[in-house]
């Protein structure tokens, strides 16, 4: 997707990784329009002109790169593992668990992570970039919806609309970053367990629910 592979964790191109990390943090904190290039530069420790030496495309390309990275993380940690699971119920459990942990673990590393930025700030993208981002998001939604449809074919799904159920599940998960406090009463594991209980409780038919360890 990006010309550079995983810029956030690169050991070479250290400056580039610093820029992406700083921009991601500031975009999450103050929003895309509320963050200036000078602010990003200051956090990295160089001049604004220095930023444009590494990011020739400017601010919009920065946003696109960060969103792409967030979706890359979703791909590797949630979507790809899910594709390897044939059983629908097991796949749904995997999706919920991995996505919740992706968000809660991200908020532990000093605030916000690039995974949550993808949701908002789509307006700051160029039409071409926006189409790419939107399509990747749609792929994820369809993964969830297809899993629910398969669950229905297996006779395990309650009498609910799959589309509404898929979006509701997404709403629960994406909302976590707004209220979860890693130093609070509940650990990330507890939150993941509770979300799992809630989601499966409303989706699976009672007789098919079974305890999981």
Q: What's the min distance (Å) between Cβ of 40 and DNA?
A: 8
Q: State the minimum distance, in angstroms, from the CB of residue 84 to DNA.
A: 38
Which stretch, 2-10, 50-58, 75-83, 120-128, contacts a copy of itself (CB under 8 A)?
A: 120-128
10 binds, among a copy of itself, DNA, none (CB under 5 to 8 A by kind): none
Q: Judge whether 199 and 147 are in contact, CB under 8 Å.
A: no
**Interacting residues toward DNA by CB under 7 A:** 15, 35-39, 45-50, 52-54, 56, 58-60
Give yes or no for residue 191 binding a copy of itself (CB under 8 A). Answer: yes
Tell me the closest approach of the beta carbon of residue 57 to DNA, in angstroms. Answer: 8
Which entry of a copy of itself, DNA, none binds 47, CB below 5 to 8 A by partner kind? DNA
- 101 binding partner (options DNA, a copy of itself, none; Cβ < 5 to 8 Å by kind): none
The least distance separating DNA from the CB of residue 133, rounded to whole angstroms, comes to 18
Task: Note the residues at the interface with a copy of itself (CB under 8 A).
Answer: 29-34, 119-121, 123-124, 158-161, 163-165, 167-168, 170-176, 178-179, 185-186, 190-191, 194-195, 197-203, 206
């Amino acid at each position: 997707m990006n010309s550079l592979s995983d810029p956030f964790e690169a050991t070479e191109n250290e400056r580039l990784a610093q820029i992406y990390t700083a921009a991601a943090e500031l975009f999450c904190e103050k929003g895309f329009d509320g963050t200036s290039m000078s602010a990003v530069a200051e956090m990295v420790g160089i001049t604004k002109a220095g930023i444009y030496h590494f990011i020739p495309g400017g601010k919009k390309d920065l946003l696109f790169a960060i969103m792409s990275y967030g979706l890359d993380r979703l791909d590797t940690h949630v979507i790809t593992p899910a594709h390897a699971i044939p059983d629908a119920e097991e796949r749904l459990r995997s999706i919920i668990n991995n996505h919740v942990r992706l968000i809660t673990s991200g908020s532990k590393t000093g605030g916000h992570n690039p995974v949550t930025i993808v949701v908002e700030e789509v307006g700051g993208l160029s039409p071409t970039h926006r189409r790419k981002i939107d399509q990747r998001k749609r792929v994820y939604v369809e993964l969830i919806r297809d899993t629910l449809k398969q669950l229905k074919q297996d006779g395990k799904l309650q009498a609910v609309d799959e589309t509404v159920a898929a979006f509701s599940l997404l709403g629960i998960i994406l909302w976590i970053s707004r209220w979860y406090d890693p130093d609070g009463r509940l650990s990330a594991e507890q939150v993941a367990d509770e979300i799992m209980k809630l989601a499966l409780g409303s989706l699976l038919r009672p007789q098919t629910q079974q305890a999981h360890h």
